[in-house]
Structure 1
Amino acid sequence: MSDFFNIIFSVDFGYAVLRVTTPILFAAMGALISDKAGVINIALEGMMLIAALTGVIVSALAQSAGLGLLAAVIVGALVGMILAYFALNLKTDVILAAIAINLIAMGGTVFILFMVGGDKGISSSLPSKVLPRIDIPLLKSIPVVGPILSGHNILTYMAFLSVWVMYIFIYKTPLGLRIRAVGENPDAADSVGISVRKIQYIALTLSGALAGFGGAYMSMGYVSWFSKNMTAGRGFIALAAEAMGGATPHGAMFTSLLFGLFDALSNSLQTLRVPAEFIQMIPYLATVIGLVIYAANKTEQIKRIQAQKERQAGTKTEKGKTT
């Protein structure tokens, strides 16, 4: 037990929490912006996987981590546009279209990796580049806090910065207002001249771009290679984080940190004599438990609102009879 607490309260564990939270947070921001537009993007997993492979291939061919990141983000955005085309133009069920993208990504990335580098499962023959780490001058000298917050990959800082950018974008800009209007009442938005299809196209494209950042981090920051199904369900965990966070940027950030904590815990427990199967299920078990608690609270909230409406309706009826 003492070994367990030594792991939990160590600087390395705090550093690992922020490190593993990064891809979840990017994907959660992607889930948030599409949700605000009234479209559920469950293709985040596939988008991250495709972007992760794209970043490795382009950075290896161009010998530039920056170009690899740019290519990953662009490909993520393009996949978002493809999902939008099938869902909005061809009227395909968005859930089925997203599942198809996830399945294509699972097998297609392995096939493309073999075609490009001749590798099966991991990109060992591709000399891909890694995005730089940043040491914050004053912060790194502070005991305990410095080693936890400083020295991360540049995308980790961008992920947490994206929370504030997303808040300003959604709540302080005209486009953000249109996105929220379309998500809350598309008929009312259409009646005042807002193109619902255009706004949802933009939302899904931005959602894919954010997933692209998460995928690029997985293969160019978290590790320095691409491997089969390396996202390991993080796109789905991000959907849970966004929902549990109340569909708000800061709420999604805190729930992403919570899931990141459990993910880091599963990695740290490998040093102890804990069954590997139990360790591997910790992040997903935490996701299920979190969603059950969230659903129970949401159901209770809906019941309270309905009961309040019924009481108000009963009061109005009694007043009408008295009159």
Structure 2
Amino acid sequence: MIDAALFSSALGALAPILFAALAGALCQRAGVFNIALEGTMLVGCFAGVAGSWYTGSVWLGVLTAMLAGTVYSLIVATGVVTFGADAIVLGVAANLLAVGLTSYLIQTVFGSRGTFSDPGLAGLDPVEIPVLDRIPVIGEILSGHSVLVYLSWLAVVAFAVVLYRHPWGLRLRGVGERPEAAASLGVPVDRYRYGVILVGGALCGLAGAQLALGNVTLFSENMTAGRGWIAVVAVLLGRALPYGVLAAAVLFGLAEAFGFRLQGLGLPQQLTDAAPYVVTLVALFVFSARVRARRVVTRGTE
């Protein structure tokens, strides 16, 4: 049951969650708790498929997904930063809007209901890495994924470098932790928050492109199936730290791949589909227990 193919499948399942979780972590670092990851990713799924189908180029589809995610994230950016709306309420509204909007567009644009797939739809091809693909076990796990899977790993490293090694990252952390102090030093707080929300939208677009053009090659209504919410949990578990978010996303990717493996063994789909969400609930329980324990220790030292 546990073999190289399972871990290879987990890496494919990991990428959409990781992109979205990095988006959420960036926003969290700027002091914005963005829970619109699910809806933005879903818009990216639709836009990626539409762009790929109309242009015949999968890379134009990926760019369309990034652009659509960026534009859609303006809802959260404008509402939260400009008008001071509650980020939680606005995020939930954005998620609900995305479900209704994409359900309407799949009928209007493609003339389909539920699911759209077409033999002419270009998807992301797997990339075989020379030399590495010849190594037993390791090659089977690490080679043969789409470019976006590898890009998601590089995005983690880039996030860590920018956050801790670049002045922009230092200012971003200041905006999230002490916005008044940052503003007094001349840092444009609103501009930074707008920037990270829009960058997060592009990352969610990449998540949607990987899900709709990499993991499968189709669009289905509500195909994100809670992955954006799982990404929110990954941000909380990883404490919005680059490698912490990566570790949490790996956990959920393994859970999803394990669920697919159980489904292949004949277990009911409803049961196997619940595997990532069971892990999410357990992770939330552990996270809340740690927070309560930390508060008790803090009060005891006062």
Q: TM-score range by the shorter chain?
A: over 0.9
**Cα distance in 1 between the residues matched to 2:238 and 2:209:** 24
Say whether 1:97 aligns with 2:90.
yes
- Label 1:275 to 1:59 Cα distance change in 2 as closer, same or farther (>3 A): closer
Is this contact kept in 2: 1:133–1:151, CA < 8 A? yes
Query: How much identity, in percent, do the aligned residues show?
Result: 38
Q: From 179, 201, 210, give the equivalent of 1:186.
A: 179
Is this contact kept in 1: 2:117–2:217, CA < 8 A? no
Q: From 83, 103, 117, give the equivalent of 1:110.
A: 103
Unaligned runs of 5+ in 2: none
- In the alignment of these two chains, the number of paired residues is 302
Give 1:145 deviation, angstroms: 0.8
Say whether 1:13 aligns with 2:6.
yes
**Cα distance in 1 between the residues matched to 2:270 and 2:215:** 22
- Label 1:41 to 1:149 Cα distance change in 2 as closer, same or farther (>3 A): same
Partner of 1:217: 210
Give 1:127 deviation, angstroms: 3.2
**Cα distance in 1 between the residues matched to 2:253 and 2:118:** 30
Say whether 1:22 aligns with 2:22.
no
**Cα distance in 2 between the residues matched to 1:273 and 1:86:** 46
Give 1:194 deviation, angstroms: 1.2
Say whether 1:195 aligns with 2:178.
no
**Cα distance in 1 between the residues matched to 2:169 and 2:195:** 11
**Cα distance in 1 between the residues matched to 2:164 and 2:207:** 23
Partner of 1:248: 241
Q: Write out per-residue CA displacement over residues 102-130 of structure 1, whole angstroms, 9 at most, x where no aligned residue.
A: 11111110111111110111113583211
| 3-state SS of paired residue (2:116) | coil
| 3-state SS of paired residue (2:249) | helix
Q: Max radius of gyration: which structure?
A: 1
**What TM-score do you get using the length of structure 1 for normalisation?**
0.91
Q: What do you get for the CA RMSD once the two structures are aligned?
A: 1.2
**Cα distance in 1 between the residues matched to 2:47 and 2:119:** 12
Partner of 2:261: 268
Say whether 1:75 aligns with 2:68.
yes
**Cα distance in 1 between the residues matched to 2:37 and 2:119:** 25
Q: From 51, 64, 83, give the equivalent of 2:57.
A: 64
Runs in 1 of length 4+ with deviation above 4 angstroms? none
**What TM-score do you get using the length of structure 2 for normalisation?**
0.97
Give 1:15 deviation, angstroms: 0.7
- Label 1:120 to 1:169 Cα distance change in 2 as closer, same or farther (>3 A): same
Say whether 1:127 aligns with 2:136.
no
Say whether 1:300 aligns with 2:285.
no
